[in-house]
Amino acid sequence: MPATSSSATFLATLGPSGTFSELAAREVLRLPQFTKAPPTISFYSSLSRTLQAIPEQAGIAVVPLENIVEGIVSPVVDSFLKQPLQIIAEVAIPVRFSVVANHPQPDVIFAQFVAQGQCSDWLSQHDIEVISTASNTAALAQLQATTQAAAAIIPEHLLAAAEPNASAADWAWVEHDVTDYAHNVTRFVAVQQPQPLAAPDHSIRYKSSIVIVDDADHPGLLLEHLQAFAVHQINLLALVSRPTGQRFGHYHFFIEFEGHLQHPRVQAALSAIELRNQVIQLGSYEFSS
């Protein structure tokens, strides 16, 4: 089903408002192609629902693709295998978490599942009971609602907006940069329903994304695929295996590389890969600076 004129006016992203996804979506809307008639952001409760909004409810979706520490966001890559999607842009969003507390010695700390992983060092150094929340925004909301001595791990950008307290100074305890890695960053991508690729602009440094679908039963295929990139001198940027779900050790491969899908060297490499496996071409887009 094509995007309708009305769906084109919406951009889908993971809610609720206030999370890193909204930050990424606003960054995408600053790209030249969106400044003229920016779509309205609408929030969805899960990554798969966000992507399934395309094409009928939204013309575009913005989802996290890869965190520098946690690696690829599996549900997004798995969606590439389930529905036709095209990546048209990427933005890199720094991931910074803070701890806020209503008491100097909180008994519990609210934190979303992924945030718990990102701040595992801090959590292991503090003996506070962790309460899982559905989102980062929810962690803050639950802290604000509780009467317990409590804390929350929240994205740094939420701190300013964190009512009822007028400012950070009003919290009993605020600690910044509680993530395990100082330069933590997540790449988000803007995706749409696949459309014909525009010819490459030679002033732009492109990256391209594909999924090699494991539809053959031939051992050692990855080696042959990597050789196809190597013989055509194409630099790999990402290489992630995703289980087929059929047997252990059988994988689809999500691969990113330098260059545009319409470059002759890329087409030669893909023609070799396609002798052995199906390839899903996900798009070519500019490197985020």
Q: Which residues bind its own copies (CB under 8 A)?
A: 45-46, 48-49, 52, 66-71, 74-75, 113, 117, 120, 124, 130-134, 181, 187, 219-220, 222-224, 226-228, 230-233, 235-243, 245-249, 251, 256, 264-265, 268, 271-272, 275
Output 46-52 pairs: Cβ under 8 A, ≥24 positions apart: 46/14, 46/75, 47/14, 47/73, 47/75, 47/76, 47/79, 48/75, 48/79, 50/12, 50/13, 50/14, 51/12, 51/76, 51/79, 51/83, 51/85, 51/191, 52/83
Q: How far is the CB of 251 from its own copies (least distance, A)?
A: 7
Taking the C-alpha atoms of residue 262 and residue 183, their distance in angstroms, rounded to an integer, is 34
CA 167 to chain centre: 30
- Please state the closest distance from residue 56 (CB atom) to its own copies, in A: 15
Least CB distance to its own copies at residue 61 (A): 16
Judge whether 24 and 44 are in contact, CB under 8 Å: no
In this structure, the chain runs to a length of 289
- Measured between alpha carbons, how far is 54 from 106 in angstroms, rounded to an integer? 42
Which CB sits closer to its own copies, 62 or 109?
109
Q: Which is nearer to its own copies, 154 or 228 (CB)?
A: 228
Of residues 164 and 245, the one with the C-beta less far from its own copies:
245
For 9, which DSSP code? G
CB 180 within 8 A of CB 118: yes
Q: In degrees rounded to 5, what are phi and psi of residue 13?
A: -150, 170
Contact, 116 vs 132, CB < 8 A? yes
Give me the least distance between CB of 5 and its own copies, in Å please. Answer: 27
Query: Which phi and psi (to 5°) does residue 184 adopt?
Result: -65, 130
Residue 167 vs 271, nearer CB to its own copies: 271
Pick 204 or 236: Cβ nearer its own copies: 236
- Given the structure tokens 């459309």, which residue do they identify? 195
Distance CA 106, CA 50 (A): 35
Kindly tell me which of 39 and 135 has the beta carbon lying closer to its own copies: 135
Q: Which is nearer to its own copies, 15 or 39 (CB)?
A: 15
Q: What is the DSSP string of 198-250?
A: PPPPTTS-EEEEEEEE--S--TTHHHHHHHHHHHTT--EEEEEEEE-SSSTT-
Q: Which CB atom, from 107 or from 170, has the smaller least distance to its own copies? A: 107
